[in-house]
């Protein structure tokens, strides 16, 4: 599928210089993937760097037993810091990337990523900026895992979700939440019921609603 310069300009018009936009249309590979598509699995090799145009991608790290821990989400105009490092050092992936919505993205071949770093100042800025963003997310994740209690982590996860969809109702199962927090489903069920009693959430099958004063 080919890229249209005009559409790119809409997204990146004031971020990248014209010559770089041109280059992206030349070598970039446009894709649309459905919800639930595995963009990357641990052990896979990275052949290109994704730039997310729209949609949502969950990046998680999984250990040997298949336990997963949420690292961060990739949304509009984000790129993946992991794949940036991996491709520069030609390493295998250590993470899993799965789309949570229908997602539109551009794949940039690895060679270009390096070339552009020296050629285009705005590209370099972009790369550094995504590093910084991801790094902040990761620090947040570490903080959560190391210092917060599980109930705080759960509530926090729910708040993150509400930001992403700009609404207070999500359709998730307890088990999915448990996976993101690397716990068991029962624990989540019990915590959720506590939160319900405290009036923070409303529960029903496949659905959780955040109630009360949760500002974005």
Partner DNA sequence: ACATTAATTGTGT
Partner DNA sequence: ACACAATTAATGT
Per CB under 7 A, residues contacting DNA are 173-175, 183-186, 189-190, 192-193, 203-207
Q: Where are the alpha helices (DSSP H) in 32-184?
A: 81-89, 110-119, 121-147, 150-165, 174-180
Q: Which is nearer to DNA, 94 or 175 (CB)?
A: 175
Least distance to DNA, CB of residue 186, Å: 4
| Torsions phi, psi for 95 (to 5 deg) | -130, 170
Question: What span, in angstroms and rounded, lies between the C-alpha atoms of 134 and 140?
Answer: 10
Q: Which is nearer to DNA, 84 or 155 (CB)?
A: 155
Cα 92-107-33 angle, rounded to 5 deg: 95
Least distance to DNA, CB of residue 167, Å: 17
Q: Which is nearer to DNA, 125 or 194 (CB)?
A: 194
Least distance to DNA, CB of residue 215, Å: 26
The candidate with the shortest Cα–Cα distance to 205, out of 163, 159, 169, is 169
Q: Which is nearer to DNA, 161 or 174 (CB)?
A: 174
Question: What span, in angstroms and rounded, lies between the C-alpha atoms of 96 and 40?
Answer: 5
Least distance to DNA, CB of residue 185, Å: 6
Q: Which is nearer to DNA, 7 or 193 (CB)?
A: 193
- Hey, which residues does 202 pair with through a beta bridge? 209
Helix-helix angle 121-147:150-165, to 10 degrees? 150
Least distance to DNA, CB of residue 169, Å: 13
């Amino acid at each position: 599928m080919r890229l249209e310069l005009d559409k790119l300009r809409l997204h990146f018009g004031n971020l990248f210089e014209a010559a770089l936009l041109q280059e992206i249309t030349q070598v970039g590979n446009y894709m649309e993937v459905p919800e639930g598509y595995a963009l990357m699995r641990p052990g896979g090799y990275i052949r290109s760097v994704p730039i997310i145009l729209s949609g949502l991608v969950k990046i998680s790290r999984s250990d040997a037993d298949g336990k997963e821990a949420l690292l961060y989400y990739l949304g509009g105009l984000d790129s993946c810091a992991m794949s940036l490092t991996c491709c520069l050092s030609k390493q295998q992936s250590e993470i899993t990337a799965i789309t949570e919505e229908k997602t539109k993205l551009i794949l940039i071949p690895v060679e270009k990523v390096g070339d552009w770093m020296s050629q285009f100042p705005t590209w370099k800025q972009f790369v550094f900026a995504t590093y910084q963003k991801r790094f902040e997310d990761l620090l947040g994740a570490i903080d959560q895992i190391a210092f917060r209690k599980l109930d705080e982590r759960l509530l926090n996860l729910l708040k993150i979700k509400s930001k992403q969809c700009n609404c207070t109702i999500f359709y998730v199962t307890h088990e999915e939440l448990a996976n993101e927090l690397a716990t068991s489903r029962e624990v989540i069920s019990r915590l959720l019921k506590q939160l319900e009693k405290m009036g923070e959430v409303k529960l029903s099958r496949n659905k959780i609603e955040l109630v009360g004063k949760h500002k974005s």
